[in-house]
């Protein structure tokens, strides 16, 4: 088998981006989870995915961002809407797809931007971080609705409905 790592990463990243969108679409964004509204959990994970997945040099940021909004430890006077989260998700998704289109296996083992980690470690770290947040957000959805949000495992799964 002559498989490229970037093909596997791309497949799983497209599924992750779809699962991120599902979390935005299915969650009660005002539900308080560990003292923080769900919208902020989602924004926190999306912000750091934007920052770290492709690398700080490709960070796009949200036009509505203000200092501390990405932190779960800093209370916010601002509230983000589903539309704002979806718009930022769309921008991050497009940027991520462009990054993946130019990625080759050899690049996965490079250290970049004065970072200690190689790209592959950064990418895997974001998979862990994002899925942690998606899991707890989905937990709040399950508690409130009794429905289980669908989780796409592969890019081919993104056409499934929002719930099982």
Q: Which two tokens stand for residue 52?
A: 């770290």
Within 8 A by CB and 6+ apart from 129, the residues are 45, 48, 49
- Residue 158 confidence (pLDDT): 86
Cα angle value 133/136/139 (rounded, 5°): 150
- Residue 103 confidence (pLDDT): 96
Q: Is residue 2 part of a domain?
A: no
pTM of the model: 0.94
Domain that holds residue 21: 12-56+87-159
Q: Is residue 97 part of a domain?
A: yes
Q: Is residue 34 part of a domain?
A: yes
Strands 36-37 and 32-33 turn out to be antiparallel
- Residue 143 confidence (pLDDT): 95
Residues lower than pLDDT 70 in the chain? 1
- Residue 159 confidence (pLDDT): 84
- Residue 112 confidence (pLDDT): 76
The SS3 call for residue 104 is coil
Domains: count for the chain: 1
- Residue 59 confidence (pLDDT): 93
- Residue 1 confidence (pLDDT): 65
């Amino acid at each position: 088998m002559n498989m490229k790592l970037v093909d596997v990463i791309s497949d799983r990243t497209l599924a992750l981006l779809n699962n991120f969108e599902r979390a935005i679409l299915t969650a009660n964004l005002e539900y308080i989870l560990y003292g923080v509204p769900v919208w902020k959990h989602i924004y926190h994970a999306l912000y750091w995915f934007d920052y770290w997945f492709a690398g700080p040099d490709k960070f796009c940021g949200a036009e509505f961002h203000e200092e501390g909004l990405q932190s779960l430890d800093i209370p916010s006077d601002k509230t983000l809407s589903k539309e704002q989260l979806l718009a930022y998700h769309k921008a991050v998704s497009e940027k991520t797809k462009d990054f993946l289109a130019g990625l080759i296996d050899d690049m996965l083992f490079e250290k970049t931007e004065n970072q200690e980690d190689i790209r592959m470690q950064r990418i895997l770290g974001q998979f862990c971080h994002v899925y942690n947040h998606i899991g707890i957000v989905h937990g709040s959805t399950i508690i409130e609705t009794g429905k289980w949000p669908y989780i796409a495992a592969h890019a081919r799964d993104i056409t499934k409905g929002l719930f099982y």
